[in-house]
Amino acid sequence: MEIHVKEDSKKRAVFSVRGADHTTCNILKVALQKEKGVTIATYSVKHPLVDDPLFIIETNGTVSPKQAIHKAVASIIAENKKTDAEFKKAS
């Protein structure tokens, strides 16, 4: 995956994610929406065969979009580790 930043300010970030599919984007979107200080976390894909997903993140200023992304990714990793441990325990 490649990330291309289109806009980066104190309260708003816009970036595209080359190579990401809806599964990856939805996981990140939901994790971002759970983060405190995030007011908008969404993405769109104009055409799934030719366009990359475009994320838009806005915050209330208590956290930067970049901080929110890092926290969201960390929570996704933690959740995946927990799920992996549960599957290993069940096997």
Supply the CATH number for residue 46's domain.
Answer: 3.30.1360.10
- Output the pLDDT for position 47: 87
Each residue's pLDDT tens digit, 37-89: 999 999 999 987 888 999 999 999 999 999 999 999 999 999 999 999 999 99
CA distance 6 to 86: 39
pTM summary value: 0.89
1 or 60, which is more confident: 60
55 lies in which domain range?
Answer: 2-90
> How far, in Å, are 6, 29, 69, 77 from residue 74 at the CA level?
23, 13, 8, 5
Tokens of 78: 């933690």
Of the pLDDT bands very low, low, confident and very high (cuts 50, 70, 90), residue 91 is: confident
Per-residue confidence (pLDDT) for residue 44, from 0 to 100: 96
What pLDDT is stored for residue 26 in this prediction?
97
Q: How confident is the model at residue 11 (pLDDT cuts 50, 70, 90)?
A: very high
Q: What's the CA gap between 43 and 91, in Å, rounded?
A: 37
Domain count for the chain = 1
Asked if residue 49 lies in contact with residue 67, where contact means CB atoms within 8 angstroms, the answer is no
Structure tokens given for 7: 């806009």
43 vs 12: CA distance, rounded Å: 13
